Amino acid sequence: MAAFLVRALGLPPAPDQDFRDSGGTFKADIDSLAAAGITRGCNPPTNDRFCPEELVTRGQMAAFLHRALTATTRAIDVSVGHFHACAVSEEGRVYCWGSNRDGQLGVPETSSSSVPLQVPGLANVIGVSAGGSHTCATTESGQAYCWGQGANGRLGTGSNESTSTPKRVVGLTNVVAVEAGENSTCALRDNGRVYCWGFGENGRLGHGSNASSNTPVQVTGITDAVTLSVGYSHACITDEFEEAWCWGDTGRFGNGTAGTGVSSRPVKVDLASVFKAEAGTRHTCALVLEGGLRCWGYNQAGQLGLGDRAVSDRPRTVSGMGAVLDVYAGHYMSCALNAEADVYCWGTNRNGTLAIGSRGEDVLVPKKTLLDRVALLDVAYNNGCAVSVDGEVSCWGDNMLGQLGIGTTGGVHPSPRRVLLLR
């Protein structure tokens, strides 16, 4: 078995006989397995999983397994949905884990998975986006694919049927990014146009009405978008003029206008020099010139990072993190990545969503997390995931359906845990 595993993975073979733990290699492997949560360590008789017996067959398998796992592929993207998450490997493959109730993992006949499963039939993928219960991906050739829950047409296939097989979004070419929301989806093309499909309530498709659509419809008046973000019930873009526009149920428009913050057409945010506008759950945060961060909208859990819970009709400055390179808005919480590759989060922490090593009360101002050397991350309903500069994926928060990808289900993990993407 061990020899077969080694050959299958293309690893250098080891002698099949007379195994000795010279130099403590086997002990180090066991320690690494324990640290990764794969084994409880070597302490018979209670913690003897993957420990050697009279013959060392099981010990050899543990050593080989660890070497295989530490040879895991690097990730270039990660996205977190309602109860699932997905990542893209540097080879352009997509892996998903967590709930598969509606086929959102892209694999059939599986109710859920606590470990990453490769999505068959996809290659040369450059980005992935996990929505409420569906998933979408963008390929190098500019095609968009979606799978999972199909209600209200959120897959963009011309049908409202759900599917566990990735289906190409109809009528779209030259796609550079696709963003899946709770029950709607939008895509950005290389000509700066934006198209949305799915549930149209409260104008979240941005085409001037509340009508749903199972095929892409162009967002009104947007012709020069450079970034796109889709939140729970609204979406935002930034354009070539460094302006931000949002539509749907935004909470607040960010232009000083009080009221519902609902529009079926894009509304301009009162903010200049904007490089990214990130849509959360009825709140929005934006990156501005020289690493500045502004947030506005609903604030019941402190998701604006301002030290209070007051709703804000206008963008307000969020401070205390140094120069901010990127921002991520989730469900009543937000996170920012700074120039030192550190991550700060704030807002609701009921399920350990902020990755600060504890759960409980809301955090009203940015707090440094346990994450470091981070390249990118994503946060959503009750959990988050990050990719390190080395391409390793870590997740934290609620693990009810295995959405942390750590090989177990249940419990809350307020500290990041490593996810293993096997080749």
**What pLDDT, on the 0 to 100 scale, is given for residue 1?**
43
**What pLDDT, on the 0 to 100 scale, is given for residue 75?**
97
pLDDT > 90 fraction of the chain, expressed in percent and rounded: 79
Average pLDDT (383-395) is 97
Residue 336 C-beta-side C-alpha neighbours within 13 Å? 33
Average pLDDT (140-165) is 98
Segment 210-220, tens digit of pLDDT: 999 999 999 99
For residues 378 and 363, give the distance between their C-alpha atoms in angstroms, rounded to a whole number: 18
Average pLDDT (46-60) is 46
Q: Say yes or no to pLDDT of 43 above 70.
A: no
Q: What pTM did the predictor assign?
A: 0.85
Which residue did the predictor score with more confidence, 100 or 38?
100
Segment 267-326, tens digit of pLDDT: 999 999 999 999 999 999 999 988 899 999 999 999 999 999 999 999 999 999 999 999
**Domains, the chain, ordered by start:** 2-70 (no CATH), 75-419 (2.130.10.30)
Q: Say yes or no to pLDDT of 40 above 80.
A: no
Tokens representing 198 are 């799915």
**What pLDDT, on the 0 to 100 scale, is given for residue 6?**
41
Q: What is 288-302 written as a DSSP string?
A: EGGGEEEEEE--TTS
Which residue did the predictor score with more confidence, 5 or 72?
72
Segment 84-138, tens digit of pLDDT: 999 999 999 999 999 999 999 999 878 899 999 999 999 999 999 999 999 999 9
**What pLDDT, on the 0 to 100 scale, is given for residue 109?**
78
Tokens 């969020």 belong to residue: 318
Segment 359-380, tens digit of pLDDT: 999 999 999 999 999 999 999 9
**In which band, very low, low, confident or very high, does the pLDDT at 420 lie, cut at 50, 70 and 90?**
confident
**What pLDDT, on the 0 to 100 scale, is given for residue 291?**
85
Segment 163-186, tens digit of pLDDT: 999 999 999 999 999 999 999 999
Q: Say yes or no to pLDDT of 333 above 90.
A: yes
Nearest to 38 by CA among 2, 65, 75, 7: 65
Q: Helix (H, G, I), strand (E, B), or coil: what is residue 151?
A: helix
**What pLDDT, on the 0 to 100 scale, is given for residue 377?**
98
Is 234:250 a contact under the CB 8 Å cutoff?
A: yes
Average pLDDT (344-356) is 97
Q: How far is CA 353 from the centre of its chain?
A: 13
Contacts of residue 205, defined as CB under 8 A and 6 or more positions apart, other chains included, come to 184, 186, 196, 197, 198, 211, 212, 213, 217, 219, 248, 264
For residues 80 and 389, give the distance between their C-alpha atoms in angstroms, rounded to a whole number: 19
**What pLDDT, on the 0 to 100 scale, is given for residue 62?**
60
Q: Say yes or no to pLDDT of 338 above 80.
A: yes
Q: Say yes or no to pLDDT of 29 above 80.
A: no
Burial (Cβ within 10 Å: 0-12, 13-18, ≥19) of residue 155: buried
For residues 218 and 196, give the distance between their C-alpha atoms in angstroms, rounded to a whole number: 6
Q: What is the mean pLDDT of the chain?
A: 88
